[in-house]
Structure 1
Amino acid sequence: MKKLVVVCLTLVAVLAMTAGPAISGDDPVRVKFAHLGKADPFKAAAHAGVLAFGHVWNKSTAGKYKIEVYPRGTLGKETDLLQAVKANAVQMIVASMVSLHRIFPPSQVMMAPYIFKNDAIAWEVFDGPYGQKLLDAMTEKTGLKALAIQDLGFLAITNNKRPLVTSEDFKGIKFRAMGPLQAAMFKSLGGSAVPIPWPEVYTSLQTGVVGGQTNAAFVVDAFKLYEVQKYLSLANSQMGYQIWLCNKSWYDSLPEQDKVAFRDAVKAGRLTARNMSLLLESQAAQSLAKKGMTVTSLNGEQVSKLQKLAGPACLEWLKTQMDPKWVDELVQAVDAAEKKLGYK
């Protein structure tokens, strides 16, 4: 009996020595996730989405992955982040059309001004076959894994001269444009525009390099653009969105079970950002008015007049920047969404 006890104790000791280091040595796999948004999930929908993704993936994989979030461009400008994710120095990023339209022109197609009548129709297109086709094509073209379209609600337009209600109000104002598409929109409405990287927008507005810009109302509030802008117009001009990307080789190396959990976590993050956008949008207009901005909401007739100017002109411009089929198929997808949801 004594010998049996000694053998058992010895076996326990051996197991402890061999199992202990293996368990303690299983450190979480670090995953770097970078974006340019504000580092406050209650003020920046994109950051809320990233945090939700990290929480769900961490929970679903029992802590196997540690998501390290780098907001506010702490790892560089968007062009730097695209290079970093290509090199797998950063595994995941949230990127805007400022950079993406240069490497994959069709990525900007759903920012066509006035293409969506409301949020529900946009969601149907983003989440449906057309949106997935766009992501798949982007992956094939760029070598980066395009994961999801993260919508951020309709953009508002701000400036320092006057409320923007008619096309006459746009004249004489130079706007910051996220890219050529927005530049085309402002030109068709009677203004002008120049591209400026997001980190330089506040200073450019402050110094008068440009007199206006377009962004979601909660972005105007979160980044204190009300300090350098006086008028905000809720014109439903464009549905803002970004795209989640990751290093494809890194993604392909994930175990299949972890990929399933990853997919679900991406969906959780995307929907969190969407819902937070709605909440923030509902609060931002009131907050900005209290902070001194003049907030103007356009009615259906006023929006329709701007739509007739900017809509067709921008769709035609888009056809010169990409295979026209992307534009034609978007129009078809919107039409199908409107019928499905009972708007036609």
Structure 2
Amino acid sequence: MHSKLRSRLARRVTTGLLFTAMSLAGAMSYAATEINLSYNGAADSEKNPVHLFASNLKRIAEEKSGGELSIKLYPNSMLGEEEQRMEQVISTPGLNIASFAGVAPLFPEIYVSAIPFMFKDAAAAHQFFDNGEYWKAAKTEFKNRTGVEMLAVVEEGGFLNFTNNKKPIKSPEDFAGLRFRAMDPSQVALYESFGASGTPIPWTELYMGLRTGVADGQMNPTSYIILGSLYQVQKYLTLANIQYSDQFLVANGDMLAALPEKDRDALLAASEEATKLNREAIAKQQESDITFLKAEGMEVIQPDVKDLAAFQSKGQPAYLEWLKAQKIDAKWIDMALKDTGLNQ
């Protein structure tokens, strides 16, 4: 699937992005007043942090531009699934909030930002994306390959955490013999490093899969555990800060460059402010989420420093081996680990 997307997008990059001055001007006469923003998930700011970000971006950009910009929201993948939306933002003026599924086919090095147990807390993740050398280089390389600008890292739920319905998990040894739902081969590698197994289950089938025992557990942010009512079929929640849960606001580069300076500055400032607002909202939401899950009967386990180090020592090498198998250049891994202090 990824190779097909790469070939299609390569054609779009070489043909669609080479706008003539006249066609670009014509496109911008429309986009200067209205810009489409597409993304996954429902138009519900309380349940969907991505929609919260999109709503704030729209409001702030329109205010700062004095009404010169109009952001039109398309939630629920109304303009297409991940691959289609990325094709659109490459070849036509617009904005998109892409998950790893949208970015990785064009830039597999994005998986480096999801090395498990790389961040001790949200502040460390924010520092990584706000000031790290890896992320600066990643944005530049992504633009070079696609013509698309990465404007923001959209926090969508804090950190992924483990749940299961068999026993409390405090250390890697507690995984032995369990079956976990996996979203991709990297998660399978992670589970296997702990002595468990991974089985692919789509999100739409996850609740029933957990209920019927196809899998004993899974990992997601607390917001998704609530969104999917997984607390009804999972007894134990382990707060292990596995991976930072995020998506990426991307913009057609030609559109961004052609915007009047005032409008472009308004959009960039809005992306920064919306990012900050999402981070603040998720920090508050985490506390209320955990309170809710406890009230619903989940037992919440907080591993101590020693146990978290054990998760890291087993889980990280397995993921790094998976990255190597994807032929990710080691320089990206080295940059990311240096930014987090893990290779010192």
Shorter chain as normaliser: what TM range? 0.7 to 0.9
Aligned position for 1:264: 269
For residues 52-80 of structure 1, give each alpha carbon's deviation from its aligned partner in whole angstroms, at most 9, with x where no partner exists: 11111000111222222222334443233
Aligned mate of 1:78, from 67, 78, 82: 82
Aligned sequence identity (%) = 32
Task: Give the Cα separation in 1 of the matches to 2:126 and 2:334.
Answer: 18
Shift of 1:207: 5.3
Task: Give the Cα separation in 1 of the matches to 2:121 and 2:191.
Answer: 21
Aligned position for 1:121: 124
Moved more, 274-283 or 202-211: 202-211
Q: What is the TM-score of this pair, normalised by structure 2?
A: 0.81
Contact 2:68–2:263 at 8 Å: present in 1 too? no
Say yes or no: does 1:335 pair with 2:341.
yes
Shift of 1:198: 4.3
Moved more, 67-76 or 126-135: 67-76
Contact 1:135–1:148 at 8 Å: present in 2 too? no
Aligned position for 1:170: 175
Task: Give the Cα separation in 2 of the matches to 1:243 and 1:265.
Answer: 15
SS at match of 1:240: strand
> How big is the alpha-carbon RMSD for the aligned residues of Structure 1 and Structure 2?
2.7
Task: Give the Cα separation in 2 of the matches to 1:27 and 1:298.
Answer: 50
The AA in structure 2 aligned to 1:111 is: A
Task: Give the Cα separation in 2 of the matches to 1:101 and 1:39.
Answer: 25
Task: Give the Cα separation in 1 of the matches to 2:229 and 2:143.
Answer: 35
Aligned counterparts, 1:177-216, within 5 A: 177-202=182-207, 204-206=209-211, 208-216=213-221
Shift of 1:87: 4.1
The AA in structure 2 aligned to 1:103 is: L
Task: Give the Cα separation in 2 of the matches to 1:111 and 1:291.
Answer: 30
Residues 1:260 and 1:199: Cα distance change in structure 2 (over 3 Å) = farther
Say yes or no: does 1:94 pair with 2:67.
no
Say yes or no: does 1:52 pair with 2:56.
yes
Q: What is the TM-score of this pair, normalised by structure 1?
A: 0.81
Shift of 1:206: 4.8
For residues 255-314 of structure 1, give each alpha carbon's deviation from its aligned partner in whole angstroms, at most 9, with x where no partner exists: 222111111011111111111111111111110121232222222122111111112332
Aligned position for 1:69: 73
Shift of 1:189: 1.6
The AA in structure 2 aligned to 1:144 is: V
SS at match of 2:259: coil
Contact 1:98–1:178 at 8 Å: present in 2 too? no
SS at match of 1:158: strand
For residues 213-257 of structure 1, give each alpha carbon's deviation from its aligned partner in whole angstroms, at most 9, with x where no partner exists: 222112211332223433221111222221111223332332222
Task: Give the Cα separation in 2 of the matches to 1:136 and 1:27.
Answer: 24
Aligned counterparts, 1:1-344, within 5 A: 29-88=33-92, 91-130=94-133, 131-151=135-155, 152-202=157-207, 204-206=209-211, 208-321=213-326, 322-335=328-341
Contact 1:56–1:265 at 8 Å: present in 2 too? yes
Contact 1:175–1:192 at 8 Å: present in 2 too? yes
Residues 1:171 and 1:97: Cα distance change in structure 2 (over 3 Å) = farther
Q: How many residues are treated as equivalent by the alignment?
A: 312
Aligned position for 1:17: none
Task: Give the Cα separation in 2 of the matches to 1:141 and 1:196.
Answer: 32
Moved more, 31-40 or 324-333: 31-40
SS at match of 1:64: coil
Structure 1 unpaired stretches of 5+: 1-25, 339-343
Structure 2 unpaired stretches of 5+: 1-29
Residues 1:256 and 1:73: Cα distance change in structure 2 (over 3 Å) = same
Contact 1:45–1:274 at 8 Å: present in 2 too? no
Instruction: Decide which structure has the larger Cα Rg and report it.
Output: 1
The AA in structure 2 aligned to 1:33 is: L
SS at match of 1:162: coil
Task: Give the Cα separation in 2 of the matches to 1:104 and 1:241.
Answer: 16
Contact 1:38–1:222 at 8 Å: present in 2 too? no
Residues 1:291 and 1:62: Cα distance change in structure 2 (over 3 Å) = same
